[in-house]
Chains A and B, each alone.
Chain A
C-alpha cells in the first residue's frame, strides 16, 4: 500500500486543460524593446502625445532600475530583447460590435467558459475580453452606460475619456514603483477601465478575462478602476494561457481609486499556465496591484485565488488615506510541482481610525515553494488604526516549502496590530479518517484544502467561488496508486 506521502505526491500532479492554442493570424511587432517599439505601440493605439511621453519617461526609468531581488523567487535572468511587446489578432479595423469579432476568438472564449455572444452571456457579469495585447470585446456596455458606468478597454478609455485616464493613471502605482511596474508603464498595450459615478451601485459584476495566446509574447495590461463618492463596484478577473515550453512574462499593473464612502471589491482567479512537472514553461506573473482609499470611509477589498503561473510575484495593497477607510486582503495561493509564489500585501495606514484585515492561506505541494510577505505600516498620523493578520500555510508532502515574512512598522502608539500564523501538514490521520468513511484520497485532499481556504473562498462572488473550488481540486488532481 502506498504511504500517504506518495499519495500526496501523486495527487499534486496536475493537468492543465486550458493549454490549447488558438490558430489565428496576429499582427505582432518584432521581438525587442527600445524607444521605437514604444512609439510604435503608442501610434498603433493612436495615443495623445502626453501618454507617449509618459511611456517614454517610464522606459527611461526602467533602464536604470535593478530587478527586484528581495523576494524568494528564483529564475534565470529575463531576456527582455527576446519578448514580443505587441501582438494582436489580425482582424482589420477595431470591431465595433460582437458581430465583427473573429468567430475564432469567440470560440476561444466559449471554450474557456466565457461565452461573449449575446444569447449565451453570463448573467449579471459584464466581461472585457483581452486577448494577447488587445481587448477584443466588452459585453453589456450599453446596459452599464444607462447607469453612467464606464466599462471599456483601456485603449478605448484613452480615446473617449482622456481626462479621467490622465488624472488617475499612475496616481496609485507611479511609473518608477518597481522594475516590473516601470516596464508595464512603458509598454502596456491594453486592459480594462471602469468608472462608477457618484452614488451608483454597479448592478452587475464587471470582469476581465485575460488570455495569452501568441508565443514569445509578453502581456502587459493595465487596469484602472475609479469608484466615485458613495459608489460600489465588484470586479473580477480571470486568466489562462496555452502550454508552452518557454516562460512568458505577464507584467500587469492594476490601480484602484475609491473616493469618499466608495467601495471596490476586486477578485482574481489566476490560472495562468504553471509549467510542467519538471518546471519547464509557465507564466512569470509579476504584477503590481494597489488601491488607494482616497476618501473618508472608503473601502477596498482584494480577494485572490492564485493557482497558476510558474512564478507569482504580487502584493495587492491598500493605501488607507481617508479617515475610517478599510482595506482587506484575502488570499489563497497554491504552488504544486515546481511552482513558486511570493505573494502578500501591504496595508499602509495614513488616515485616522483606519482598519485592515489580512487573511492569507498558502498551500504548497510537490516541490512547490511559497512565501507570504506582508507589510503593515501605521503612519504617525494614523491614530486608532487597527490591523489583524492571519497567515496559514498547509503543506502537502515533504518536498515543499512555505515561509511567512510579516513586516511591521508602527509609528503611532494607539495602533492595535495583531498577527497570527500557523503551518500545518495535511496529516496522514486526516486523510485516513476521510478514506475510512469511503471518501477517495483525491476527494479527501480536495476537501481538506477547500476547508482550509474557506475563509477566503467565501469572499468571492458566488460563480467564482464555485470555479475556484473546482480549480483547487483540479490543481491537485492526479492518479492515486
Chain B
C-alpha cells in the first residue's frame, strides 16, 4: 500500500468556546476520493478549515501529517503552496481584483515555492483558456472581479477552475454542491472528475448523497458530533439516504 498523503490522528479543535472536532482519525492515500458526510453542525466545515489553517479554528489536540510533515505547523499559504486546496463553501468577493490577476498571483506563488519558473502572461492565459473549458466557464468571467456579482453556480465553477489551474495534491471540496441546480452540479462534478488522478486525493464534503452519484468516492465517512462514527464504501451513502443521520447520531451520543 502506498504511503498516506494525509494522516489525521485524534484531532480536536474548537471555534471560540465551542469544541467542534472531538477526536478525528482519518487516513487518505494518493488517488483516493473520500466523502465526508454528516448532518449540519457535525463539524464537516471545521474539519476542512482546520486542514487549510482557517485562523479562527484552534486545534487543541491531535496531529495531522501531510506528505510526512507536520501540517499544523504551517501557515495557511504554505499549506496551499504544498498542495492543499480548499474549494470554499462560500467563496468570498474581492472588489477590484480580477479573477485573472488573482489566479496568476496564486499560481506563481505556488510555482516559486516549488522552484519552478513563473508563468508569463501568455503562458498563463493559454493554461487558463484550456481549463475554463473544463468547467464550461465563459472566459470573460476571468476579467471580472473575484466572485463579485457571480451567481452561486458561477462561484462554485470558479472554485473548481482555480483548482484545475493550481493542480493541488489534496483537494478539499466543502459542500461544493450546495446551492447548485442539476446542470451546474453536472458541470462542477465533471470538472472535479477530470482532475482525479493517481497522485491526487480528494476530500469531498457534502450533506447530500446526490453529489456522490456524480463523484463516486472510494470511501464514505459519516461525521457526527465531531467524530467519525461510521466509515464504509459508497454504499454507506445510499444507506444514509434511506435512513437519515438520526441512528448514527444516537450511536455517537451513546459512545
Contacts and interface: CB of A to CB of B under 8 A. Distances in A.
Interface of A: 1-4, 427-430, 432-441, 443, 447-448, 450-455
B96 interface: yes
A430 B76 contact: no
Contact of A447 (B88, B97, B107, B110): B97
Contacts, number: 83
Nearest to A429: B92
A443 B81 CA distance: 14
Nearest to A6: B55
B75 A1 contact: yes
Given A451-B94, A452-B95, A455-B96, A437 B55 contact: no
Contacts of A428: 55-56
B53 interface: yes
Interface in B84-101: 85-86, 88, 91-92, 94-97, 101
A430 B109 contact: no
Contact of A441 (B77, B85, B105): B77
A427 B75 contact: no
Interface of B: 52-56, 75-77, 79-81, 85-86, 88, 91-92, 94-97, 101-103, 105-107, 109-110, 113, 145, 162, 166
B109 A432 contact: no
A432 B97 contact: no
Contacts of B88: 433, 436
Given A1-B55, A436-B86, A437-B166, A430 B92 contact: yes
A443 B109 contact: yes
Contacts of B81: 438
Nearest to B145: A451
Contact of A435 (B77, B85, B96, B110): B77
Given A434-B94, A451-B95, 14 more contacts: A2-B55, A428-B56, A432-B53, A433-B91, A433-B92, A436-B53, A436-B88, A437-B106, A439-B106, A443-B109, A447-B105, A450-B97, A453-B96, A454-B96
Contacts of A454: 96
A436 B76 contact: yes
- Report the 3 A-B pairs with minimum CB-CB distance, sorted nearest first: A451-B96, A451-B97, A437-B106
Nearest to A481: B75
8 contacts: A3-B55, A432-B76, A433-B92, A437-B109, A439-B106, A439-B109, A447-B105, A451-B94
Q: Which of B56, B94, B107 lies at the interface centre, i.e. has the most chain A CB atoms within 10 A of its CB? A: B94
Contacts of A440: 77, 109
A429 B102 CA distance: 15
Given A438-B109, A438-B113, A427 B92 contact: yes
A226 B200 CA distance: 66
Given A428-B56, A437-B162, A450 B113 contact: no
A432 B55 contact: yes
A441 B113 CA distance: 15
Given A438-B106, A438-B113, A443-B109, A432 B145 contact: no
B52 A436 contact: yes
Contact of B94 (A2, A435, A436, A448): A448
Contacts of B55: 1-4, 428, 432
A453 B95 CA distance: 9
Nearest to B74: A1
Nearest to A424: B95
A438 B110 contact: yes
